[in-house]
């Protein structure tokens, strides 16, 4: 999957691209069918909401589940990023964010590169997220909120919030957010399951809590240019991966083609 010159120009201006219904329903059904078994496990890679058993995030799902491993090598997700960076990428982070009905908590305003720089010593913002909606995302179930153009400011000062939610985050001050919104506004990409987002690691974003009766599951691949790999290893390797091997994309039909197999899943049997 290649981006057009117009799409590259839009990405440079806004910091994100949205591809509604890029994946077919049968492809999403494969992944959705794996969620109950994934969520039922109690292990360190699965973070639950504060004061609840609801799943907030599953880290490294591609190392414990074959379907999610295939998604982590899908050409529709890998090729646009290698095109933008002009080099191969590795998987810095992989997560399934649950934001479950009624229980999905807020993700505060932040930049992903802020965390990657502070916690992992990633040299530059040559990393980005590619995200796929496993559920329909609407205005009620906690959609992602972006501040268009905010990536152009580079890394913004942030403070380490260790108490608001069950997962610590480097968050941006409310006064700064007001100024950014006055400058660029807020958008909330919404669409059916199978839609894909690609967004810059300095794009300021967050999401509100999910008070609706509908789950809002999104899978995030955080892809980093191989030359830009992290230099600090204080976080567990299931959060910030230390394997800098370039990702080799699979065939485009990998999700539904049962003959495509991935044998090495290091965390598949770990408890």
Per DSSP, helices labelled H in 121-266 are: 174-184
Whether residue 271 has pLDDT greater than 60: no
Higher pLDDT among residues 32 and 52, named by residue: 32
Give pLDDT, residue 151: 95
* pTM for the model: 0.93
At residue 160, does pLDDT exceed 60? yes
Instruction: List pLDDT tens digits, range 196-238.
Output: 999 999 999 999 999 999 999 999 999 999 999 999 999 999 9
**Whether pLDDT at 164 is above 80:** no
pLDDT digits (tens, 9 = 90+) for 14-39: 999 999 999 999 999 999 999 999 99
Asked whether residue 7 carries a pLDDT value surpassing 80, the answer given is: yes
- pLDDT at 237 (0 to 100): 95
Q: Decide: helix, strand or coil at residue 11.
A: helix
pLDDT exceeds cutoff 90 at 163:
no
The whole-number pLDDT of residue 108 equals 85
Which has the closest alpha carbon to 117: 170, 177, 176, 166?
A: 170
Return the CATH fold of 16-228.
Jelly Rolls (2.60.120)
Q: Going along 73-194, which residue ranges are E strands?
A: 89-97, 107-110, 127-133, 145-146, 159-161, 169-171
Report the distance separating Cα 176 and Cα 207, nearest Å.
17
78 pLDDT above the threshold of 90? yes
Task: Give me 211's structure tokens.
Answer: 């008070």
Task: Please give the pLDDT value at position 162.
Answer: 65
């Amino acid at each position: 999957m290649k981006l057009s010159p117009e799409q590259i120009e839009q990405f440079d201006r806004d910091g994100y691209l949205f591809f509604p219904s890029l994946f077919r329903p049968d492809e999403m059904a494969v992944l959705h069918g794996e969620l109950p078994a994934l969520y039922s496990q109690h292990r360190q890679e699965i973070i639950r909401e504060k004061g609840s058993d609801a799943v907030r995030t599953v880290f490294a799902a591609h190392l414990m589940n074959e379907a999610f491993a295939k998604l982590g090598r899908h050409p529709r997700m890998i090729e646009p990023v290698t095109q933008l960076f002009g080099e191969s990428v590795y998987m810095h982070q992989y997560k399934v964010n649950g934001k479950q009905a009624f229980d999905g908590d807020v993700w505060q305003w932040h930049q992903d590169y802020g965390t990657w720089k502070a916690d992992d010593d990633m040299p530059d913002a040559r990393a980005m997220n590619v995200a796929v909606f496993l559920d329909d995302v609407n205005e009620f179930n906690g959609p992602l909120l972006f501040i268009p153009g905010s990536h152009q400011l580079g890394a913004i000062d942030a403070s380490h919030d260790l108490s608001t939610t069950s997962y610590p985050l480097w968050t941006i001050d409310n006064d700064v957010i007001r100024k950014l919104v006055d400058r660029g506004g807020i958008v909330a990409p919404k669409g059916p399951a199978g839609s894909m987002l690609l967004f810059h690691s300095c794009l300021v974003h967050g999401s509100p809590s999910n008070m609706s009766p509908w789950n809002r599951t999104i899978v995030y691949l955080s892809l980093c240019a191989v030359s830009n790999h992290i230099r600090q290893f204080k976080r567990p390797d299931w959060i910030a991966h230390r394997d800098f091997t370039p990702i080799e994309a699979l065939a485009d039909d990998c999700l539904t083609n049962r003959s495509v197999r991935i044998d090495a899943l290091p965390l598949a049997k770990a408890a």
